[in-house]
Chain A
Amino acid sequence: MKKRAQTLSRMKRQENLIGYLFASPWITGLILLGAFPFLASFYISFTNYNMLSFPRFIGLTNYRILLSSDTIFWRSLGNTFYHVSIAIPLGIVLGVGLALLLNNKVYGMSVYRTMFYLPNVVSIVAMALMWLWLFQPSFGLINEVLSPVYRLLDIEPLRWHQDARLAKFSLILMGLWAVGGPMVIYLAQMQDIPNALYESAEIDGASWVRKTVSITLPLMTPSIFFNFIMGLIGGFQVFTIAYIMTSGGPGRATYYYAYYLFDTMISDQNMGMASAMAWILLVLVLIVTMIALRLNRYVVYLGEES
């Protein structure tokens, strides 16, 4: 009996070792390329460091400069908030809407699904170049298609990404082209809803609208919430489309937060300031996520028990 207990504990110790062995590549990476840089960037954010000389500790100076006297910082933050607060709700409405349409047992559902998803596999650079051409004010496809409308209303053709007032919205519009990604998730969750729920609602005489509002949408809140959080994290880091299409212009209209951070880091090599910006970004994302998680309790349906 005693011997058996000993072998058992030896096996346990062995499994412990093997467990760490299997996880070791990932854990090594997490410590060296995750935890260490994470803490280091926090320290660097309190220094003045340009990669040439030694980092010099300057306390909260970077944060103070950014928050109190850097107008570009606030401008880029405002641009980013604009982007996030319009792109995410629009994306959710459009994605859920398309999924609802496809959830009607329509013939050819998977073909439609494929077509809607297609833009998601396109390289973001290729996508940006393509939309640059579609938005082209004088002979781009969008203005050509809209030209009867312009004539009817007797207005000048819109200049899309070249118009400071319209540039941010143009980039949002272009982002909606990839709404098929979240839509696939919504659709899958809709199809997971047990048919019995709809059948009993039908017996009670519920209409399509009623079934959608009372059954489908509440049961889909987990995937909507998932896409909302992912959209937030991604949206706060929007960079490439502006870098390729507008260079942050016209007149800084699409100069997003991540773009300013990139310039501070790569062009100015001001690593202290860039780190401070990164940490402000992290805190912002965390705060917004926390708020969302709080609301989540009231909004997201988690099953009968919870």
Chain B
Amino acid sequence: MSAPRIAVLVFPGTNSEDETVRLLRACGGDAHLVHWSRADTLAAYDAYVLPGGFAYEDRIRAGAIAAHDRMVDDVITGCERGKLILGICNGAQVLLEAGLVPGTGPARRPTAAFTHNAPQAHYLCAHVYVKLVIEPHRSPITAELPPGAVVPAYAAHGEGRLAADPAHLREIADGGHVAFVYVDADGTPVRAPNGSALDAAALVNREGNVLAIMPHPERDAWNYQHLDRGGRTDPLACSGGAALFASFVAAVARS
């Protein structure tokens, strides 16, 4: 049996595919870009990663058109079969629009969204830390992280604020769907820089096989990306945000 293969989905407008596939490979994953015109090949993959960008120019709403793309048909089927799925930034928005996360409603009937930042609605690029607030084994994707792991990342989005109606928000909070919250470097909780409800940076579905994270761990995942935080000795080695990718790849290998 061959090693499990990870597909990194490329929609028109996706822009973070190269660094995502590069880090997955550095973490030992057999990762491949799958382009929208090759959607027919997607079903054969064992896990899916939806990277950042502006899929279909975020027409109608962030992630809305991509959520109805032919490629996401296979992602939804894969989710039902327990395949592991990771969405980052725009990929996270797509997973919420596709209803896979928090997964409290039917597919493609979203019950929450990552939407316009507040109180300032503009795009924000800022270094952040996020902290794992679920028990690591709650999701296979986070299983290799230590409890309460603090992961560095970059927020780089105009629409990263979790929003839902009060009933769904309660369901998200009570159902343990908030996987990561924004913290400072020491792990102390801070208000989300984008006004996100529950200060949530990432959500997980009930089954734990789908994780949607707004900030980009892959942009603070190599030593050269944080030279002054101990990155000088081996600038090309992985560290920081790579831990989440390594945990994902390990989970795929187990699956």
Bound pair: A and B?
A: no
